[in-house]
Amino acid sequence: MLAFVIGLSVFIYSIKDQAATLAAFGYPGVFLLSILANATVVLPAPGLVLVFGAPALGLNPWIVGIVAGVGATIGEFSGYIAGYSGSAAVENRDMYDRLHRYILRYGPWVLTVLGFLPLPFFDLAGIVAGVLKLPVHEYFIFTLLGKAPKMTIIALAGAGALSWAPWLNQVISQYIGQ
């Protein structure tokens, strides 16, 4: 399972340059891109940048936020699965122990807070949730409660940026190829 997650992360990282093409497919493209961007464990993917730019394609930022939030939540299952299978290699043991204690003490609300914050800690939190065998539906719901508002705020910020920086629309459209 660990080899699968690592392989998936490397593959997604290698196709990150094609992410702009995916965004041109509208809401389904944003959804798929969000899954892929969040399925990587530790390696960066351009998901947030394209969620920010999606309103330049004429997409409703509220819908983009929800679609991207659901996609991001599904993508985050890569870490959960690695932890659940017991095959997760944790490099930062100190942070792992801290997150383990927080999730035991505060429950899945830790996932909501970390899902909302634009920090790389969520991959490790997903692994911890998997190790703790948190029920799948709880993992999904509490992760979604953090990811959907974050993605909506990012999409709304992108839509707002279009009004005070109209040239941004041209830059984004050129980047995405429309």
Residue 37, judged by CB atoms within 10 A of its CB (0-12, 13-18, 19+), counts as buried
CB atoms within 10 A of CB 145: 18
**What are the pLDDT digits (tens) for 144-156?**
999 999 999 988 8
Q: Of the given ranges (56-65, 91-100, 164-173), which has the lowest mean pLDDT? A: 164-173
End-to-end CA distance of the chain: 39
Kindly report, residue by residue over 93-117, the tens digit of the pLDDT: 788 888 889 999 998 999 999 999 8
Higher local confidence (pLDDT), 165 or 148: 148
Structural domain of 95? 2-176
- Tokens at residue 57, please? 């394609």
The pLDDT value recorded for residue 150 is 94
- pTM for the whole structure: 0.76
Q: Which pLDDT score is estimated for 68?
A: 95
Percent of the chain at pLDDT > 70 equals: 70
Residue 29 Cα to chain centre, angstroms: 14
The total number of structural domains that make up the chain: 1
